[in-house]
Amino acid sequence: MGTSRLTEAVPRLVDLVSRLRGPGGCPWDAEQTAETIRMYLLEESYEVVDAVESGTPEELCGELGDLLFQILFLARLAEEKEQFDLADVVEGITKKMIHRHPHVFGSMNLDTPEEVAANWAKIKREEKGNSRPGFSDFNGVPENLPALLRAHRLTQRAAKALPEDEDPRGDPETVSEDMEELRKALESGDRDLVGRRLGDVLFGLAGLAGRRGLNAEDILRQTNRRFLERWADGQGEGRP
């Protein structure tokens, strides 16, 4: 990546967003707010994920551009309200990443990904003024995440906040117990109870996946894709 290209391309896109929002710009863009843009941001994020999983490099490049546009657009909205600007965003994330990588930019020695993850969680707690694991460890998990992905993040945060031998994430025995409780609920015919027990099973499976280095959201996405591929091949019946 040429530095000269980047220093020309980014300001050009920033100016484009400003023109769309400014006098003589686009009426649709001019009336947008952070609240109306957020769904486009979410959609573009999912399209980037799709491109990572099954797209070409050209498709991924294009989707990253769409997502970048939404980020710059939101930064422009904040700048208009004199809250912050794009430079604040870039400087802020640069400072944060340097602070959270003391093994790269400082003198700390961390040799494994697990050590890095544990130290990252510790640094985040200290940034929030809380050096001990607690409920605040979960504050950074967005409520608007897909539920299965949020379950993965919550169990992941819980695991990082505790010693390795106290990993609270699901194990096969716990999931089997949850399945037995679900079976009993199904026999009872209590719809609300069935829903709660199903939730327990799903949450436990998300933790079980995370404990083995997997992401339940990614696993289900792959299963959905296999299901559609089998259906397209005329094999609608049977497992994905």
For residues 230 and 238, the answer to whether their CB atoms sit within 8 Å is yes
Do 101 and 67 lie in one domain? The reply is no
Do 226 and 152 lie in one domain? The reply is yes
Do 231 and 150 lie in one domain? The reply is yes
Q: What is the pLDDT of residue 4?
A: 85
In a domain, 3, yes or no: no
In a domain, 217, yes or no: yes
Q: Tokens in use for 33?
A: 């707010």
Condensed to tens digits (0 to 9), the pLDDT of residues 85-100 reads 999 999 999 999 999 9
Report the chain's C-alpha Rg in angstroms: 23
Do 110 and 167 lie in one domain? The reply is no
Q: What is the pLDDT of residue 156?
A: 81
Distance CA 233, CA 133 (A): 50
Three-class DSSP category at 119: helix
Do 117 and 68 lie in one domain? The reply is no
Whole-prediction pTM: 0.68
The domain of 199 spans: 146-240
Do 69 and 39 lie in one domain? The reply is yes
Amino acid at site 70: Q
How many structural domains compose the chain? 3
Do 182 and 239 lie in one domain? The reply is yes
Distance CA 16, CA 39 (A): 21
Condensed to tens digits (0 to 9), the pLDDT of residues 116-151 reads 988 887 888 788 776 555 555 676 677 777 888 888
Q: Tokens in use for 219?
A: 């696993």
In a domain, 139, yes or no: no
Tokens 């949020």 -> residue: 150
Do 68 and 152 lie in one domain? The reply is no
Query: Where residue 179 sits, what CATH number does that domain have?
Result: 1.10.287.1080
Condensed to tens digits (0 to 9), the pLDDT of residues 28-47 reads 999 999 999 988 998 899 89
For residues 141 and 154, the answer to whether their CB atoms sit within 8 Å is yes
